[in-house]
Amino acid sequence: MSKTIIRITTVPMAFKVLLAGQPRFMREHGYNVILISADGIERDDVIRNEGCEHIIVPMTRKITPFKDLVHFFKLRKLIRKYRPDIVHTHTPKAGLLGMLAAKSAGVKIRIHTVAGLPLMIEKGFKRKLLVFTERLTYGAANHVWPNSNSMMNFILSQNLTGKNKLKVIGNGSSNGVDLKKFSKNNLQKDMLEKIAATIPASSALKILCVGRMVKDKGIEELISVFQHLKKSFPLQLILVGPFEPLLDPLGTETMEIIERDISIVHIKWSDSVEYYMSLAHIFVHPSHREGFPNVILQAGAMQLPVVCSDIPGNTDIIRHNETGLVFKVTNEFDLYDKLKYAIENTDEMLKIANNLHKEIIVWYNRERIHEVILENYGQLLR
């Protein structure tokens, strides 16, 4: 009889993007995989791509105590119905509710992957609340998998759980990078032309940033620095990712600049990020907090030079002047200096990008990550 795994995330986007291919891989290796998340436009794609049953539990990313209690009981009922051998959660809300529900339902193997911690940038009461909920999650789990060594060290430094529960899978990353998709050699000419048409024709050097357009992704600092850089260099800034007006929204001034500046191109969302990476000259990731950023792996796989902030997660992948350039997080002066260097030294940046590309092929191939997770499941079941 096949073993059953329940995978839980807050929203289906995580299954479609962050964990793409992983449920299907586990199913093809003999597991009965059941996916649970809130509803969303990505749900149909997830069911089609992964070939797994998906159940809706309408969890929210916000703090909603009454709704959370209702969703906890719904998750526990589902877990008792399916009697899984493993419950594996991702994202803070799904981790909290899923681990508590799994423990109360008597599941023996309870795994929570930590791919990012909002508490890293919070202060005051909200930070205390987030620390409490993380400790509650890790207390209910019996295996906690930070997706980078830096994240594991942060968890230990904050006394969120004991070292005996913690493990980094492989060299880090929750899902690795798809080297078939993110490859210069596998791009389709017609698709490349279609994507290029979304960017105003220009011989300017193109700086690319991919991610949610919110404050804690460093977008406000990037927009400010770009306004200064373009006075000295012919540049285009390409932003790929949605605005989130309800969660950490950008300030009015930043929004106005993005809307009116003709040298800034905003793409609300794209399933073809690799094509934008192939057209860009520099990839910038100014985020304030990360777990283990997939976009840096993707940029590296596309041999695109990377400039990123010096935060945990980023610095697990990027070593300054070896595999990319690193600037002090939130420091506009340092971001300006690093981007200016990258703009003026394109040949050197391509050499550095090649170093990153070699490491990603060896350590962060998605197939390798899937194999390592499968091996860890097997060890736990034995």
The pLDDT tens digits for 297-340 are 999 999 999 999 999 899 999 999 999 999 999 999 999 999 99
121 pLDDT above the threshold of 80: no
> How many domains would you assign to the chain?
2
Same domain, 194 and 129: no
First to last CA, the chain: 15
For residues 194 and 334, membership in a common domain is answered with yes
The neighbour count for residue 222, using CB atoms within 10 Å, is: 21
Q: Are residues 159 and 188 in the same domain?
A: no
Token representation of residue 337:
């200096």
Q: Rg (Cα) of the chain, in Å, rounded?
A: 21
Give, as one character, the DSSP assignment of residue 238. Answer: E
Does 374 share its domain with 345? no
Residues 140, 153: one domain?
A: yes
Same domain, 154 and 193: no
Q: Are residues 246 and 218 in the same domain?
A: yes
Confidence at 263, pLDDT banded by 50, 70, 90: very high
Residues 335, 374 within the same domain: no
Residue 1 has pLDDT above 80, yes or no: no
Residue 98 to residue 79: CA distance in whole angstroms? 9
**Predicted TM-score (pTM) of this structure:** 0.86
**Structure confidence at residue 123 as a pLDDT band (50, 70, 90):** confident
Q: Which residues pair with 327 in a beta bridge?
A: 309
Can you give the CATH number for the domain in which 220 is found?
A: 3.40.50.2000
> How does the average pLDDT of the chain come out, rounded?
95
Instruction: Specify whether 240 is located in the same domain as 297.
Output: yes
pLDDT range class, residue 192, cuts 50, 70, 90: very high
Question: Rounded CA gap, 265 and 206, in Å?
Answer: 10
- 357 and 371 part of one domain: no
- Do 145 and 230 share a domain, yes or no? no
**Dist. CA 166–CA 142, nearest whole Å:** 9
> What is the per-residue pLDDT across 146-181, written as a single tens digit (0 to 9) for each?
999 999 999 999 999 999 999 999 899 999 999 999
For 74-92, the pLDDT digits (tens) are 999 999 999 999 999 999 9
Name the residue with tokens 């499941």.
Answer: 377
Q: 208 and 114 in one domain?
A: no
Q: Identify the domain containing residue 246 by its residue range.
A: 184-363
Distance CA 221, CA 327 (A): 12
